[in-house]
Structure 1
Amino acid sequence: MGCLKDVPTLRGDNYTEWRKKVDLTFVCAEVDWVVDTPQPPKSTEPVRDVKDDNSAWEKKKREYAPLEMSYTLENTKWLTTNKKCMAFIKNTIEHAIVGLVAECASVGWYLEKIKSQFTGSSKIYATQLLKQLVTEKYTGGGHDIREHLLRMSNMASKLKPMDADLEIKPAMLVHLVMSSLPKEFDTFVVNYNMQSKRWDIEKTIAMCVQEEHRIKFSYGGSLNYVRDSKKKNFPQVNQSSPSKPHGIPFDADYAKKRKMH
């Protein structure tokens, strides 16, 4: 039951992680069977036929008794387990989301309703995650390069559970990391590209940290990474005479004559 505290709150962009934790919790609590098991059907009660005498009718009731007992036990177990699981799930979902999911009698159907609600959201989140991963840039600031690379690795790891086709291979992740580095790492990136041997993400992190230390040392121990920015040059305008044509002298006598005419 220690798994209960590890289940994240379902907010819309973490459905895959939430479902994995819910399934693990159900397995640990030995209640996972209720997800795929429908509510036990009640056996048809015997009906006394007009031809049945007392002996025949009593026999029918005796034969039905164990079926009724079995149904009562199984149904009570199913109802209790289903109720607990349903309450658990609803308490791991944000209140605003609970209202979007239609009520269901069984926890299995309820989980299917949740899945259908968030399949589209998962696709949107995957698209946003891919876009962020491809455009991610390291600019220093309050973060070191190790934190930056671990964040990129974490983003890549979130894509595979959403869709196996979206899995970022280690070699591709390393190339994305290299493209996220600032221009101070240009020589470092060129040297890597010239090597025949490929690095995994752990090796890449270690080498990038080492390179950043080297660059900072060469700059005296501190470094502000330069961001790419293009400055536009605009022609200067003489603010003192806005109506005066640039490069043409102002003739006061000529202007006075034109005013008189």
Structure 2
Amino acid sequence: MDLDLALCVDEPPIPTESSSLVDKNTYKRWEQSNRLNLMFIKSHVNKSIRGSIPRCNKVKDYIKAIEEQFVSSDKALASTLTNKLSVMKHVKPRRVRKHIMEMRDIAAKLRSLEIEISDSFLVHFILNSLPTEYGQFKISYNTHKEKD
């Protein structure tokens, strides 16, 4: 069905009357793929956002317009993630494993932004985020000697 044709291949030249049947069919397939991709993407973009994206006739141009419209600042994201990691606290009904995994995910995102967080630093963040009933566990971890 060539659904991704317009995403993978640049637009072929618009056929003329002297173009071969192959060229006409190639353009027709590309045009259909482009139209279907545009409809699909536009139908999945929130209506409030759709209005801020300029009109485009080509799916590649539309995707580029979306990217330009919503470029995020790595510094702002890093600041937000660092703040979130430093103030996170475990909430009672939530499982500790899920809480720890969420903190690890935030650390991984920070690493992808080239902000180094050592594993031992992350462990201390996690331990400090646990409630007082984990005090014995914290003491045990902090007093445990690591083997070389």
Shared fold by TM > 0.5? yes
Q: 1:192 aligns with which of 99, 117, 141?
A: 141
- Partner amino acid, structure 2, of 1:37: V
Task: Note the C-alpha offset of 1:155.
Answer: 3.6
Task: Note the C-alpha offset of 1:123.
Answer: 5.9
Structure 2 residue 14 is matched with structure 1 residue 42: yes
Counterpart contact for 2:5–2:30, Cα < 8 Å? no
Who wins on radius of gyration, i.e. which is larger?
A: 1
- Partner amino acid, structure 1, of 2:6: V
Structure 2 residue 4 is matched with structure 1 residue 32: yes
In the TM superposition, what are the counterparts of 1:1-261 in structure 2 within 5 Å?
31-42=3-14, 65=18, 67-120=19-72, 124-140=76-92, 142-157=93-108, 159=109, 163-166=112-115, 170-193=119-142, 194-196=144-146
Task: Note the C-alpha offset of 1:114.
Answer: 1.0
SS of the residue corresponding to residue 192 of structure 1 reads helix
Cα 1:135–1:196 shift into 2, 3 Å: same
State how far apart, in whole Å, the 2-side matches of 1:166 and 1:84 are: 40
State how far apart, in whole Å, the 1-side matches of 2:5 and 2:115 are: 31
Task: Note the C-alpha offset of 1:184.
Answer: 3.4
Provide Cα deviations, 1:41-77, integer angstroms capped at 9, x if missing partner.
136x6xxxxxxxxxxxxxxxxxx84x34233111111
TM-score of the superposed pair, with normalisation by structure 1: 0.47
State how far apart, in whole Å, the 2-side matches of 1:95 and 1:86 are: 15
State how far apart, in whole Å, the 2-side matches of 1:188 and 1:96 are: 48
Query: Which sections of structure 1, spanning at least 5 residues, go unmatched?
Result: 1-28, 46-63, 198-261
Cα 1:72–1:167 shift into 2, 3 Å: farther
RMSD: 3.1
- Partner amino acid, structure 2, of 1:108: K
Counterpart contact for 1:40–1:75, Cα < 8 Å? yes
Provide Cα deviations, 1:156-193, integer angstroms capped at 9, x if missing partner.
45x269x4414756544333211212333334223223
State how far apart, in whole Å, the 2-side matches of 1:70 and 1:110 are: 27
Counterpart contact for 2:74–2:113, Cα < 8 Å? no
- Partner amino acid, structure 2, of 1:72: K
State how far apart, in whole Å, the 1-side matches of 2:44 and 2:76 are: 22
Provide Cα deviations, 1:230-251, integer angstroms capped at 9, x if missing partner.
xxxxxxxxxxxxxxxxxxxxxx
State how far apart, in whole Å, the 1-side matches of 2:4 and 2:121 are: 38
Task: Note the C-alpha offset of 1:98.
Answer: 0.8
- Partner amino acid, structure 2, of 1:110: Y
Query: Which sections of structure 2, spanning at least 5 residues, go unmatched?
Result: none
State how far apart, in whole Å, the 2-side matches of 1:122 and 1:87 are: 31
State how far apart, in whole Å, the 2-side matches of 1:127 and 1:189 are: 27
Counterpart contact for 1:38–1:106, Cα < 8 Å? no
Task: Note the C-alpha offset of 1:120.
Answer: 1.9
